Structure 1
Amino acid sequence: MDLPIVVGVDGSEPSLRAADWAADEAALRGAPLRLVYASLWERYEGESLAEDVDKPSEQLRAEDIVRVAAARARRRQAGLEISTDVLPEEPEYALVREGRRAVALVLGTRGRAGLAEVLLGSVSLSVAAHADCPVIVVRPGNDNQVRAGARGRVVVGVGEQGLNSAALRFAVEEAGLRRASLDAVRAWRCPAHESTDHPLFAGEPARLHEQHAAEVLDRALKETPADVDLHRRTVEGPAGRVLLNASHETDLLVVGARRNRGHPGLQLGRVAHAVLHHCACAVAVVPERA
């Protein structure tokens, strides 16, 4: 059985944008699409039932939401295999579990309770920090970028993992599916204590750090398929800022997130955290096993 693309929906505009993206992603991959609504409605409604129907009213609303989202996905991508589910669970736990049997999870920035879309909601942040599969968060303003290849560009931040980087493999795959160019970006910085005012040495520490960044890129990209339209860049500056600047005019920004099993709390890292909150395009956070 083919693993699905799973999208969390709750009827909000951000989740509908995420469902659009997920439908396109599923069509690109020839994968099924699974729409999931998760909520502990019984916590708020207790045993209260909808009039003349033997179900809680929130459950009926949830079933209507996934039905409408599925109809929207079918209109967008005819012939797509679609399944839906309504789960009486905390959405963070339900979606992380769904991710164990998924190609990727797709989420919006905020749900119905969100007051603003500028920063990421707690559900999306928690799922991105704990899921076992790539998590794609569709940012505000992606309305015209949802269809694959709208910008024709995928950007990936290259870390120290090199050839073992799951994020790089995912980015190569996405660029190939979209027939898009792939920008591999490595940020570098020259620590302040290594700088010198002596004119004979000015720029030397910086040159060495830039050279190291270029070598990391070369090693990481050594086995990139020849048919990928690959562009490599070393950029001076903090990695978060470098990638945020690169996110403009881009379909998808891909970053890795270290995972240490048994480690409590969010496992994202500063770079992934920054781009999830402030990126100008959709972000894919790909787990990197330590």
Structure 2
Amino acid sequence: MVFPLVVGTDGSPDAMRAVDWAADEAALRGCPLRLLYASLWALHEEPAHSCGGSRRAQRAGAAQAVAAAAEVRARSRCPEVAVTADVRDEDPVYALADASEGAAAIIVGCRGHGLSGSLLGSVSLTVAARARCPVFVVRGGVPATTDERWVVVGLAAPGTTTAAVDFAFTEAALRGWGVEVVHAWARPRREHATVCSGDFNETRLFHEQQAKLWLDEALARPTAVHSDVPVRRVAVESRARPALLQAASHAGLLVVGARRRRDPLVLQLGLVNHAMLHHAPCTVAVVPAEGRDS
């Protein structure tokens, strides 16, 4: 079964940029594109027989117009893509999270209407935290300072899932790009090695070697499957956030993993995910660690 790409739109400039990006992605993948406009307007309006009935009709017409404009834009950009447009009387976060059950990926802009001044819109952030499929948050494009094209992916601590790495290689193969895998490591705080004690370099070398071994282990499968994809391996003694942001400065796409927590009251995205979604200069893909059926 071919799952569609689902892009959320509200008519804002960032949303329309996401529609363009999604249309290109659908053409690249040879899959359908579904445009989704969701709003709570209808749920909060007066009954149709009241004086608010005309206002409800106007807003419903406006919603249809937004969806239709996005559909025309997508069809004009990529005529070969099968495009559909839906309007839902529902909170956009719930609508997009629900759509993620049957989507290849969800695509959203970094901000929507009424969110100017914020680094990332609340809808985009919450959808990235809740969706059951990968979520692309579209911001910017490939830097103009380089002709190279790289997918940068963050590799978490040893023994964690490598779903994000596998996803990054698949995306790079689709685009004909390379993959830069960044693993930031740090010595445990309990180690108080100093230069004077003579064991500073020894402990650093040990942890650096462990980081490289983890890179080799995590990359064994994807490099075998995608042997034609160029690879750069980066093991750096650093905190993850600055290491990934530095790498993202020359990336066309940044991929990070996200573990879906069962407790809805627990923070669904870690601090590194938040930092990347707010500050990375390129499009960010958030890949859930668990599969659609898990």
Task: Give CA-to-partner distance per residue, 1:71-102, whole Å, 9 cap, x none.
Answer: 11112112110011000000111100000000
Q: Number of matched residues? A: 281
Deviations along 1:142-171, whole A, 9 cap, x unmatched?
3x67xxx98521011112476952211111
Structure 1 residues 121 and 39: alpha-carbon distance in aligned structure 2, compared to 1, 3 A threshold: same
| TM-score, normalization by structure 2 | 0.89
1:162–1:219 contact (8 Å) kept in structure 2: no
Q: List alignment gaps of at least 5 residues for structure 1.
A: none
Q: Percent identity?
A: 46
Corresponding residue to 1:190 among 181, 187, 192: 187
> Which aligned pairs between 1:150-189 and structure 2 lie closer than 5 A?
152-160=149-157, 164-189=161-186
Q: How does 1:63-82 map to 2 (within 5 A)?
A: 63-82=64-83
Matches for 1:15-94 after TM superposition, within 5 Å: 15-47=15-47, 48-50=52-54, 56-94=57-95
Does 1:284 pair with 2:285?
yes
Q: Give the C-alpha shift of residue 268 in structure 1.
A: 1.2
Runs of 5+ unmatched residues, structure 2 = none
Q: Kindly provide the CA deviation profile for residues 3-59 of structure 1, in whole angstroms up to 9, marking residues without a partner as x.
A: 1000000000111111111111111111100000001102443343448xxx62222
Partner AA of 1:32 in structure 2: P
Following TM superposition, the consecutive aligned residue runs of length 4 or more in structure 1 with deviations greater than 3 angstroms are 160-164, 262-266
Give distance in 1, aligned partners of 2:266 and 2:64: 32
Q: Are residue 200 (structure 1) and residue 198 (structure 2) matched? A: yes
Whole-angstrom CA distance in 1 between matches of 2:147 and 2:276 = 20
Give the Cα separation in 2 of the matches to 1:58 and 1:18: 23
Give TM-score, length-normalised by structure 1.
0.90
CA contact 1:163–1:220 (8 Å) conserved in 2: no
- Secondary structure of residue in 2 paired with 1:221: helix
Cα distance in 1, alignment partners of residues 54 and 212 from structure 2: 62
The range that moved more, 10-19 or 37-46, is 37-46
Equivalents in 2 of 1:215, 1:80: separation in Å? 43
2:209 partner amino acid: Q
CA contact (8 A) 1:134 1:284 kept: yes
Distance 1:83 1:169 in 2: 29
- 1:279 Cα deviation (Å)? 0.6
Cα RMSD of the aligned pairs, angstroms, is 2.1
